Structure 1
Amino acid sequence: MSTTTQSTEDVKQASFKKEKKSLPSFMKAAFSGRIDHKLIFPFPEPSSEEMEEMDSFLQELDKFCKQNINASKIDEESKIPQEVLDGLAELGIFSLTAPEEYDGLGVSNVFFCRFLGLISRHCASVSTTCGAHLSIGSKGLHIFGTEEQKRKYIPGIISGETIAAFCLTEPQAGSDAHSIRTTARLSEDGKHFILNGEKIYITNGAFANFFTVFAKIASENEEESGFTAFIVTRDLGGVTSGKEEKKLGLKGSSTTPIFFNDVKVPVENVLGERGKGFKIAMEILNLGRLGLAAACAGGVKRLVNEAIRQASERKQFGSSLSSFGLIQKKLARMGSLCFAMNSAVLLTAGLADSKEVDVSIESAICKIFTTESTWEIVNETVQIFGGNGFIADFELERALRDTRVNMIFEGTNEILRLFIALTGIKDFGNYLKNVGKALNKPLQSMDVIIDYLSTKVIRSIAKEKFDNVESLLSSETKVVEKYIALLNHVAEKHIKMYKKDIIHQQFLLERMANMAMYIYVLVACISRIDTQMKNGKTAEDLEHDLACVRIFSEIAKEKLEYNYNGINSNYDDSITKVSNHLCENQQYPFKVWG
């Protein structure tokens, strides 16, 4: 190899050295204009043995929930009866996510998502309590804990004697995790960290006794550094819960602040590496977002069923509501959104189970799409019920209250849209940066320039296409192919235009994230149907599934066109102008007269 000329492969390795250390991602590839077909085809399918195990377990759980969980009473009394939690523990619920080598069940992400979907149909408060314990509360221990930590704490977690909670959010640090003020100072003897601070909105806060806590390690000169995760237990002393928050919904779940006052945390209770807390928090939250998405995708089916029942039984003008075109439109859209939600969640869960794919963007997409679709479905169900939907006896008002927080949980949907776009363009931006360096030294880097230009020429002539997708899905695949190419075009154009300042272009980033979201969810639907057809299902067998995909494809295409067109033709300046005017006046300032 010449010492004066870098090969394309050498520069690619330099450009993507971070990517090579990380796992591939379908959506990261999509931002770069690539269709990584093998990542999402075939649609993940559990083995017959796991399917049988899942179905048997979930049938028992469903039976228990029907007999023991009274969601209305839990909401009215703002408390889950202890016998419900004890019964769930006896069923083995609290051992679901713990590794098998520590006597847990170690179920797959697909299994866990199905569990959350089922229990959410019975009671959102119970689902939230269990999810906080099994997912974000204890997942850090399972993934990053030492052998000693796992042996010490997992037995109590799976028996239900130990209830877990996740402590990240603070009064001054919501979605901005880097701004946390909770500190951990190493004691003089070097045996403990002295923990001080306050966390808010902690699910299970009133009765949890195991906390995954994030704090900044404080140095001797009072400078704070080293964002780190800690295992903190209530028996260490200095850990207190504030009073229960009076919430709009999820009233049966516990939500309190947690105060840490000179808590002596043994140095062996550091979770993972010191200074790596942000990475740990993000990995935990990736799985938490997928769990929340699963709860929405499964739980909302009950509302769809209620809407169907009401539309079928309620008569107006001598006909059932279900015979009216505008009601049919609502029901069909609700069913198609449900289909899409479940497709995206189960695809992402299957990818996570492979442990060979980075699902950080995909999990965030699932969280946004399912929470917003759930809100739409709840609202439309109330509409189908008419006046009865506004009456508390019909329980839809509880569904409205319980589901509203989903768009805030696990990172607000606004923040997650920025996360999706910025994460999606990061590796592509690094590649373009290295191409830019090559252009400054063309004689030494001609291979890199040729590779970049040839790639652009190829993509300008022919978009990347899916391999061997069933012809019945050709119109849907064309939508995805078209908008992956356009997403790549938008990303490249604006990375070059704004460079580092792109992080401040929130209107642009939102539109890119929305494009990514509808691309991925539509891809999940395509993969689901394509795999079923390759497994022997016919078009006749899948007649109604295909109709759902057709409807969702039209929804996705409309959203994709709107967001792409809005990048070049919009009223963003007016948004900024009116918002600034409102804030400057600190009130609504527009007068009709005078």
Structure 2
Amino acid sequence: MRDFFMTDEDRSFRSEIRDFLARELAPVADAIERDQDWEAVKRVVRALGQAGYMKLMFSDLYAGNLSKPGLTHAAMLSEEAAYLNYAFETTIATALSCAFPLHAFARPEIRERYLTPILEGDAIGSICMTEPNVGSDSAGMETRVRFDQQTREWVIDGFKRYISNATKSDVYIVWGISDPDVAPQKGMTAIAVPATTPGISFPRTYDFMGRRGCVVGEVTFDNVRVPEENLLGEENSGFRIMLSAFNFERVILGGSGLGVARSAFDIARDHAQSRVSFGQKLGQKQLIWDMIAEMSWRIDAAELLTYRAAKMYDSGLDGKDLMREAGQCKLVASETAVFCSDRTVQILGGDGVTRQYGRAEQIYRDARALPIVGGSSEMAKYLIAAREMPTLKPNL
């Protein structure tokens, strides 16, 4: 049994969400991958919202069967969705990453206007952090945010890229520098921007090698003006808001990586037990044993780290107290997804790189994004080392 950290209620929820996704997502997973069918994505998002699953992270809004819903169950949702289609999981994970700061930092009227439709499955959200010179290092952010005292509006000018759900979202959480005379960490502000605001444009969307069906692109903000109440938190508190979302995002990505790794492993294991080569089942050969064994222990390690971090978060730990554990789960789960997808293709041979023979090549393409998105593996190692050696400042 892999679910060491789980209660009976957790196990029951996993069975429930697995059955739900088997009904709603599995029948359209191929269309999302093959045709990049956004209408299919929206239908499943709507079904998740109507069933209440988009509210798992928000105990004050959740009305389902769980006595204590939380990140543990949101990670399960991500794991089971990514097992079937990682592109779809990216769409809902991004929407939840937008919902998280709205729930924690938006004014009541803004929460009602933008958060409620996302959680009910009627809207999609995005977060806008990454820029041409900003990935893991937010200090280089060039987007500017200023407050117009005469009109009582926030004005945003800047360019963001690699934005999941770009062109499809109903609301964007945008980070920009509001005080260029101080360190970026003390002069950054976050604003909720509805997609219909004049001045927003989408120069292009990207054609990725994997995660086909998840729309990712560029967003330009040219003199974009939104009302004063669209501010999240306080002016110049955007960096703190950003950090508060990171642990949540990394644990969710731990679930994503785990789902992708499990999907690859199941294909490899089934093939090793059925394919005959040189008069024996492929799985009887020592080199194949080695691959299957290593995939198995890596998946168990990823699961233990992911759900340890999720349970710690649900017990009330966050911020620097969870930075190491969240970094470890994201690092190990994402690297495990890449390892398992690579070994699965190797075990399948020619069938592994051919679309006509199943999903192995798709999973291989999908998995490669995981050590990059949501903070690279290198940044995860930095976070882990920074907690282990708090008296030193690593040289990035």
TM-score normalized by the length of structure 1: 0.61
Matched ranges for 1:218-297 at <5 A = 218=179, 226-297=187-258
2:62 & 2:304 partners in 1: Cα distance? 32
Partner of 1:330: 291
1:137/1:212 contact within 8 Å kept:
yes
2:57/2:74 contact within 8 Å kept:
yes
Q: CA deviation at 1:223?
A: 11
Partner of 1:503: 394
Question: What per-residue deviation string (whole Å, max 9, x for no partner) do you get for residues 323-364 of structure 1?
Answer: 111111111111111111111111110001001352111111
**CA radius of gyration, larger in:** 1
1:159 & 1:269 partners in 2: Cα distance? 21
Partner of 1:579: none
Q: Does 1:420 align with 2:384?
A: yes
2:198 & 2:55 partners in 1: Cα distance? 27
Q: Does 1:164 align with 2:122?
A: no
2:49 & 2:302 partners in 1: Cα distance? 29
Amino acid at match of 2:329: C
Partner of 1:185: 146
How many pairs does the alignment contain?
A: 385
> Which of residues 45, 53, 56 in structure 2 aligns to 1:96?
56
1:164 & 1:96 partners in 2: Cα distance? 16
Partner of 1:379: 342
1:51 & 1:290 partners in 2: Cα distance? 18
Residue identity (%) = 25
Change (3 A) 1:49 1:418: closer
2:47/2:121 contact within 8 Å kept:
no
Partner of 1:111: 73
1:391 & 1:162 partners in 2: Cα distance? 36
Q: CA deviation at 1:295?
A: 1.1
Q: Does 1:76 align with 2:34?
A: yes
Partner of 2:20: 60
**Which SS does the other structure have where 1:503 is aligned?**
coil
Question: What per-residue deviation string (whole Å, max 9, x for no partner) do you get for residues 273-301 of structure 1?
Answer: 22221121122122111101111112321
Bigger Cα displacement from structure 2, 210-219 vs 221-230 = 221-230
Partner of 2:369: 405
1:356 & 1:191 partners in 2: Cα distance? 37
1:69/1:122 contact within 8 Å kept:
no
**Which SS does the other structure have where 1:69 is aligned?**
helix
Give the unaligned 5+ runs of structure 2.
none
1:133/1:164 contact within 8 Å kept:
yes
1:129 & 1:168 partners in 2: Cα distance? 16
Question: What per-residue deviation string (whole Å, max 9, x for no partner) do you get for residues 101-146 of structure 1?
Answer: 4879983111111111111111111111111111x22111122233
> Which of residues 157, 173, 182 in structure 2 aligns to 1:196?
157
> Which of residues 87, 90, 101 in structure 2 aligns to 1:128?
90
**Which SS does the other structure have where 2:178 is aligned?**
strand
Q: CA deviation at 1:151?
A: 2.8
Question: What per-residue deviation string (whole Å, max 9, x for no partner) do you get for residues 223-248 of structure 1?
Answer: 98711111111233222223221111
Change (3 A) 1:102 1:116: closer
> Which of residues 316, 324, 338 in structure 2 aligns to 1:361?
324
2:208 & 2:242 partners in 1: Cα distance? 25
1:51 & 1:314 partners in 2: Cα distance? 33
Partner of 1:540: none
Q: CA deviation at 1:44?
A: 4.5
Change (3 A) 1:275 1:368: same
2:121 & 2:136 partners in 1: Cα distance? 30
> Which of residues 165, 169, 178 in structure 2 aligns to 1:217?
178
2:99/2:119 contact within 8 Å kept:
no
1:185 & 1:218 partners in 2: Cα distance? 8
CA RMSD of aligned residues (A): 2.4
Question: What per-residue deviation string (whole Å, max 9, x for no partner) do you get for residues 450-508 of structure 1?
Answer: xxxxxxxxxxxxxxxxxxxxxxxxxxxxxxxxxxxxxxxxxxxxx5xxxxxx532x6xx
Amino acid at match of 1:79: D
Question: What per-residue deviation string (whole Å, max 9, x for no partner) do you get for residues 10-54 of structure 1?
Answer: xxxxxxxxxxxxxxxxxxxxxxxxxxxxxxxxx7543x4454345
2:52/2:62 contact within 8 Å kept:
no
Bigger Cα displacement from structure 2, 240-249 vs 401-410 = 240-249
**Which SS does the other structure have where 1:70 is aligned?**
helix
Partner of 1:207: 168
**Which SS does the other structure have where 1:306 is aligned?**
helix
1:273 & 1:252 partners in 2: Cα distance? 36
1:421 & 1:388 partners in 2: Cα distance? 40
Matched ranges for 1:333-352 at <5 A = 333-352=294-313
1:97 & 1:279 partners in 2: Cα distance? 19
1:62/1:119 contact within 8 Å kept:
no
